[in-house]
Chains A and B, each alone.
Chain A
Amino acid sequence: MRLLIVEDDRKLAEFLARGLRAERFAVDIADDGLEGQRHLDANPYDLLILDLMLPQLSGGELLRRVRRNHSTLPVLVLTARDATEDKVRQFEAGADDYLTKPFDFAELVVRVKALLRRAPVERTDVLRVADLELNRLTQQVRRGSQRIDLTAKEYAVLEYLMSSAGRVFSRTMILEHVWDQSFEGVTNIVDVYVRYLRRKIDDPFPVALIHTVRGVGYCIREADPIHDPGRE
C-alpha cells in the first residue's frame, strides 16, 4: 500500500510518514501542491493525505485535479479549519474523509485504514480481552463467569476501547466517538465514565484491564507490559 502525503510543514509530514511506515505503509512526501501533482502523475497511489493550505497549488485545487484524473483515489484531507461549511465544500470537491488539526495520530491511522477498507480489523460479534467478553449482538458484557450490567454510555466506551485492544485511545477520540464535540475541553466526562467502568469491570477482579496512559488516554489490554501496542 503506497500513500502520498502532501503537506508543507516538513516536520508534520515526516512525523506522519514515520508513523505510517511503522504501520507498514510505503509513504512519499510532497512539500507543495505542484510537487504533489508530479508525484501523483508519476506513481500509482492507494491513498492521498492532503493538507489544504499549500504553497504553489492550493490543496483544494489539487483535490479538484485529483478527482478529474484519478477518480477512485481515496483522499483524506487535513486542515486547521473545522467549520462544517469547509467540510461540506471539501466533500463536494471529492474528499473522502477529513481530519482537523491538531489530531491524534491514532485517529489518523484508524481513518486511513477505514479508507483502505482494511479496518475495522475485527468486525466480529464477540470482542475478547483476557477473560472480558463483549457481545455486540446482545450487548452483554461478562468477565469470567460474572455478568456485568453497564449503562449505555459505559457500554459504548468499553466497546470502543475493545474494538482495538492494546491501542491507546485519546480522550478526544473517545469523546467524539461516544458523545460529541460539545464536551471537549470543558468537562472530564471521559474520565468519570472510565472510572465508573473500572469499578464494574476491574475493581472486583484481581487483574486490571483498563490502563491509563498519562497524557494520552486509555487503553484496554491483557496485562503489563504490552508488546508493541501500536503494531498489530
Chain B
Amino acid sequence: MNYRSLAFRLAVWYALLLSATFALVGIGMFYGLEQYLRSNLGDSLRRRSVQVERILAQAPAGISDSAIAEAIDTRVAPEFNSRFVRVTRAPATLVYRAGEPADRSFVAATVPAYSGAWPSKALVRPTADATGQLMISITPLVAPSGRYLVELGIALGPIEAVQHRLLSLLGLLLPVLVVCAAGGGYLLVQWALRPVERMSQTARQISVQDLDARLPVVATGDALQRLSISLNHMLTRLRDSVQISRRFLADASHELRTPLTVIKGELQELVAHEVGRSDVRERIGSVLEEVARLEHLVSGLLVLSRLDAGDAQREWIDVNLGELAASTVEQMRLVAEDRGVQLQSTALSPVTVRGDRGRLKQVIVNLLDNAIKFTPRGGVVGLRTEPQGEYVLLEVSDSGIGIPADAVPHVFDRFYRVDAARSREDGGAGLGLSIVRSICSAHGAEIEVQSAPGSGSHFRVKFPHAGGVTIALPPRVQ
C-alpha cells in the first residue's frame, strides 16, 4: 500500500469526514429520541393522572379511603399497567399506594415519599427508587372529600433500554459503513485515475525518436481531457524545438564544410610546396592538425544529425556480424599492438543481424578504439559475438582503467569526456560513443555499459536476430 498515493489519502479523508458526520447524526438521534420518549411518557402519565383525579373529584365528602383505593384499583389498575400511583390527603395521610408492578420495572415500596412544600400546580419530576429511575407526575387537587396530592409514576428503564439498543446498533453499524465507504472511495479514485495511468504509460513510451506519438485524449470534458490536450500540445512544441535543434545541428555542420575546405586547402598548399621558413611551416602544420580535428568533429556531427533524422541505414541487408567483427579486429590488431594492448576476438557461432554493414562496422571500430585508448600497456581488449536467447550479443571488454560510477550514465552523451585531459590528447571529440548509441538504436539494438575504476569496462550491444525479431524500421534505400 502506497500511503502517499492520492487514492489512499482521499480514502482516508473520505473516511474521516464520514465518521464525523455519522457521529454527529448518532448523537443527534440519541438525544432526540430520548427527548421524544420522555415527552411521550409525560403525556401518558398525565392522562392516567387525570383518571385518578376524576375518581377523587367525583367521590362524595366523607368517602372512606378503602372505597377510593378500590375505585382506583378497578378503573386504573396500576399494577397491571406497571404504573406507580400514590394518593396523599393533606396534610400527610397516605390514602392509596399501588402494589408492585406486573413487569417489576420498579419497587413501589421504595419510591420515596414526596417531600417539600405542597405544590400549587402540577409538575413532573424524576425520582429514584431502589432499582432505578422513575418519572413522577405530581398533581395537587381539591375534592369534596379534602385536598389530595396525586402522584403517578413510570419507570424510565424501557427508555434506557431503547437508548442502549440504539447505541449498540450505531456502534456496530458505524465502523462497517466507514470501512465500506473508505474502500469504495479508494476504488473509485483509482478508477477515476485510470485514464491518467494510461496517459502516463503512453508518455513513458515516447522517446526523442518518436515525438510524433500522442497521448490518448480522454473525452471527459473536464480537467482530465484538458490535461491530455495540454500534454499533447506540449509534445508538439517539444517536437518542433527538437526539430529546430536538429535542423540547426545539420545546417551548422553542413555550412562549416566549405570554409574548412578552403582553410585546409590553402594551408596544405603552403606546407606541401614548402613555401616560406621551416618554423612557419611547423606552425602551419600545427594549425592543420587542429583543422583535421575540426573536420572530424564536423563530420561526426553530420553523422549524428543524419542518424537523428532517421537516416541511419544506407542499406538494409543481412550482415554476418561475427565475420564483420573478426575482420575489423584483424584490421585494428596492429593499432592495438602498437599501444601494447592484446586484441582477442571470440565468435562462438555465426550470428547474423539485419542492418547497414558500414554503420555496424562503425560501431565495432568505435568501441574497439575506445577500449584500446583506455587500456594501459600490457592489457587485453576482447570482442565477443554470440547468439543469446532472442538477441545477438556483441561485447567489447577491456582490462583498462574503467569508468567512475558517476560518469557511467553519461558516457554516451555528446561531447562527454570522463576526464577532459585524458582523451583530448588522443584527438577524440567525445562523439564516438554517441555515434555508437545512435547507430545501435537505429538498428533496434540496446547498448549498456558496466564498469568500475580499475576493473575495466564491458560494453554490450544486444541486436535483434536477423529474421527473428522484426523491428519497426523500414529499409531506407530501395
Q: For the complex, is B262 an interface residue (Cβ under 8 Å from A)?
A: yes
Interface size (B, Cβ < 8 Å)? 55
CB under 8 Å from chain A, chain B span 198-213:
none
Q: Which of B46-54, B292-300, B451-459 is near enough to bind chain A?
A: B292-300
CB under 8 Å from chain B, chain A span 194-232:
195-196, 213-216, 219, 225-226, 228-230
- With contact pairs A85-B314, A182-B365, A186-B369 given, residues A80 and B268 touching in the complex (Cβ less than 8 Å): no
Most buried by B among A183, A187, A196, A225: A187
Q: Which of B142-150, B329-337, B380-388, B410-418 is near enough to bind chain A?
A: B329-337
CB under 8 Å from chain B, chain A span 144-190:
153, 168, 170-171, 179-189
Which residues does chain B contribute within 8 Å of A181, judged by CB atoms? 358
Q: For the complex, is B284 an interface residue (Cβ under 8 Å from A)?
A: yes
Q: Which among B258, B271, B287 is the interface contact of A9 at CB below 8 angstroms?
A: B258
Which residues does chain A contribute within 8 Å of B369, judged by CB atoms? 186-187
Check if B262 sits within 8 Å of A214, measured CB to CB: no
Check if A83 sits within 8 Å of B365, measured CB to CB: no
Check if B264 sits within 8 Å of A104, measured CB to CB: yes
Q: For the complex, is A137 an interface residue (Cβ under 8 Å from B)?
A: no
Q: Which among B272, B332, B334, B335 is the interface contact of A168 at CB below 8 angstroms?
A: B272
Check if A188 sits within 8 Å of B335, measured CB to CB: yes
Check if A11 sits within 8 Å of B262, measured CB to CB: yes
Q: Which among B265, B299, B362 is the interface contact of A15 at CB below 8 angstroms?
A: B265
Q: For the complex, is B447 an interface residue (Cβ under 8 Å from A)?
A: no
Most buried by A among B255, B292, B432, B477: B292
CA distance A16 to B255 in the complex (A): 18
Check if B300 sits within 8 Å of A185, measured CB to CB: yes
CA distance A181 to B306 in the complex (A): 16
Task: Give how many A-B residue pairs fall within 8 Å (CB-CB).
Answer: 135
Check if A215 sits within 8 Å of B267, measured CB to CB: yes
Map CB proximity to A onto B404-439 as digits: 1 under 8 Å, 0 otherwise. 000000000000000000000001010010000000
Q: Which among B261, B273, B311, B362 is the interface contact of A229 at CB below 8 angstroms?
A: B273
Q: Which residue of A lies closest to B253 (CB)?
A: A80
Give the Cβ gap from B325 to chain A, nearest Cβ, in Å.
Answer: 12
Q: For the complex, is B289 an interface residue (Cβ under 8 Å from A)?
A: yes
CA distance A200 to B334 in the complex (A): 15
Most buried by A among B261, B273, B331: B261
Give the Cβ gap from B219 to chain A, nearest Cβ, in Å.
Answer: 43
Which residues does chain A contribute within 8 Å of B286, judged by CB atoms? 214-215
Q: For the complex, is B366 an interface residue (Cβ under 8 Å from A)?
A: yes
Q: Which among B254, B334, B432 is the interface contact of A192 at CB below 8 angstroms?
A: B334
Q: Which residue of B lies closest to A108 (CB)?
A: B265
Q: Which among A11, A184, A215 is the interface contact of B268 at CB below 8 angstroms?
A: A215
Check if B272 sits within 8 Å of A213, measured CB to CB: yes
Q: Which among A102, A106, A195 is the interface contact of B295 at CB below 8 angstroms?
A: A102
CB under 8 Å from chain B, chain A span 1-55:
9, 11-12, 15-16, 19
Q: Give B residues with C-beta under 8 Å from A.
A: 254-255, 257-262, 264-269, 271-274, 281-282, 284-289, 291-292, 295-296, 298-300, 302, 306, 311, 314, 328, 331-332, 334-335, 338, 358, 361-362, 365-366, 369, 372, 427, 429, 432, 476-477
Sampled A-B contacts (28; CB under 8 Å): A11-B259, A11-B262, A12-B261, A15-B265, A84-B477, A85-B314, A88-B477, A101-B260, A168-B272, A183-B365, A185-B427, A187-B335, A187-B365, A187-B369, A187-B372, A189-B331, A189-B332, A193-B334, A214-B281, A215-B267, A215-B284, A215-B287, A215-B288, A215-B292, A216-B288, A219-B272, A228-B273, A229-B272
Name the 10 nearest CB pairs between A and B, nearest first.
A215-B288, A214-B285, A185-B296, A215-B285, A101-B257, A102-B261, A102-B260, A80-B257, A168-B272, A84-B314
Q: A80-B258, A182-B358 are in contact. List 5 more A-B contacts (CB 8 A).
A: A19-B269, A80-B257, A102-B257, A168-B272, A180-B358
